[in-house]
Amino acid sequence: MSNIFNFTPTVLKNLFHKPVTKNYPAEPAQYPERSRGHIEIDIDECISCGMCVRSCPTGCLAVDRNEGTWTINRFDCIACGYCTLKCPKKCLHLTPGYQTPGPQKKEAVYQKSPEVLEAERQKAAEAAAKAAAAKAAAAAKAAAAKAAAEQAQTAAEPAAAVKE
């Protein structure tokens, strides 16, 4: 009998208390302050350096510089955050919340905008042209130095013959 009286405060409290369950997804979920969530990228800030790929302990990232893509297999990501620490452009972030569920296990591919991709290609072409020009200039300089040395040697030889 005394057990019934022990429960009475709890029963009364629950009668007048709001439900403790969340009204999700009708109301947005509230994530704890330190929840890790998932990785997001500002893809147009990415320079395709691959530092995130090399630092990822589960190997769930891939970068294609030519295509301008950054790919993550979210099923392998453990949300450790190493990639966000290594990224030199700070374009990776751990964002609260989770991805929208889907029927297939597929990788998420992020693509740079055409303008950014074109600008990068132009920059790379300019850098390659500059490097080729510098290489050609260095080769011409070396050839000129070699020719001058040979000319000096040819001039020195008759003089030595006269002395003998």
- Using CB under 6 A, pick the residue from 80, 108, 116, 117 that binds ligand SF4: 80
79 touches ligand SF4 (CB under 6 A): yes
68 touches ligand SF4 (CB under 6 A): no
Q: Is the CB of 50 or the CB of 96 nearer to ligand SF4?
A: 50
56 touches ligand SF4 (CB under 6 A): yes
Q: Is the CB of 109 or the CB of 132 nearer to ligand SF4?
A: 109
Strand partners, 111: 69
Strand partners, 69: 64, 111
112 touches ligand SF4 (CB under 6 A): no
Helix (H, G, I), strand (E, B) or coil at 38: strand
Dihedral sign of CA atoms 41, 43, 46, 52 in order: positive
- Between the CA of residue 20 and those of 8, 16, 31, 127, 154, what are the distances in Å? 19, 12, 16, 61, 99
Q: Say if residues 62 and 71 touch (Cβ distance below 8 Å).
A: yes
Residues between 6 and 45 that touch ligand SF4 (CB under 6 A): 39, 41
Spatial separation of the C-alpha atoms in residues 14 and 8, rounded to whole Å = 10
How many residues touch ligand SF4 (CB under 6 A)? Answer: 31
Q: Is the CB of 25 or the CB of 32 nearer to ligand SF4?
A: 32
Q: Say if residues 112 and 46 touch (Cβ distance below 8 Å).
A: yes
- Using CB under 6 A, pick the residue from 89, 106, 135, 141 that binds ligand SF4: 89
109 touches ligand SF4 (CB under 6 A): no
78 touches ligand SF4 (CB under 6 A): yes
Spatial separation of the C-alpha atoms in residues 61 and 78, rounded to whole Å = 12
Chain positions contacting ligand SF4, by CB under 6 A? 39, 41, 46-52, 55-58, 60-61, 63, 70, 72, 77-83, 86-89, 91-92
